[in-house]
Amino acid sequence: MFRKVLHSKIHRAVVTAALPDYVGSITVDELILKTIGLRVNDAVTVANCRTGARFETYVFRGEAGSGKIEVNGAAAHLVEPGDAVIVLHYAYMTDAEYERWRPTIAIMNQDNSVREVGHYYPHGDPSLGGDAPLEVSGSEVTRESTARDREPRRAEPRAGEPVRRTGERR
C-alpha cells in the first residue's frame, strides 16, 4: 500500500509577486528547488501563514539566486507580496520506504535565501530521546531555538490580535 507523506518543505518563504493574469503555478528560485529536491511540474500545497488559505498548484523554475516566490494564476488572489508561505511537496511511499525517508526542510530568511536545511525524522531523532523530529544540518537547533529564531519573522497575529495590514483603514 502507498501512503501520501511529506517529501520536502519550504518553510516561511516570502511571496515576491502575485500575478493573477499569468498561467497558474508557483515560480520558485532554482537554488531553493535544488536544495530540497523539488522539480519543475511537481504538485505542491501552499499555505499562506497570514490568512491560513491553502491551495494546490505546480512548480515553475525561477532564476537561480533571484529569491523569487511568485504565485501565478487564480491562486494569486490568495496571497499578497510580503506574505509568508509554506510550500509542501508530498510523495507516495510504501511503509518500508517511509521508514527510511527523511523529508528535507528549507528554513528561509526574509530575503528567500536558505537559512538552514534540515530533515524530519518520522519517529523523532533517536539521539534526542525520540521526541525532537527536526535535525538541522550545520547547527545545533532545538525546538526552543527554532521557535525563537522564527519569532521576529512571524507574519500572523497572535490569538486575539486584530488582523490589519499597513495602511489599512479601521
Q: Among 41-45, 69-73, 121-125, where is mean pLDDT lowest?
A: 121-125
Residue 19 lies in a domain: yes
d(CA 28, CA 44): 11
Would you say how long the chain is, in residues?
Answer: 170
Q: Mean pLDDT throughout 125-130?
A: 59
Neighbours of 95 (CB within 10 A): 9
In a domain, 160, yes or no: no
pLDDT band at 144 (very low <50, low <70, confident <90, very high): very low
Residue holding cell 487564480? Answer: 74
The CATH number linked to 81 is 2.40.40.20
**55 domain-assigned:** yes
Nearest alpha-carbon partner for 118 in 41, 15, 11: 11
pLDDT at 140 over 80: no
Residues designated as active site: 25, 58
Q: Considering the chain, what is the average pLDDT of its residues?
A: 82
User: Domains in the chain: how many in total?
Assistant: 1
On the question of pLDDT at 145 being above 50, the answer is no
Residue 94: all three cell numbers together: 510504501
In this structure, is residue 147 part of a structural domain? yes
Domain that holds residue 103: 3-152
Band (129; pLDDT cuts 50, 70, 90): low
At 114 the three-state DSSP class reads: strand
Q: What global pTM score does this model have?
A: 0.76
Residue 74 lies in a domain: yes
- In whole angstroms, what is the distance from residue 50 CA to residue 70 CA? 16
Per the model's pLDDT, the better-predicted residue between 93 and 141 turns out to be 93
Q: State percent of the chain over pLDDT 90.
A: 66
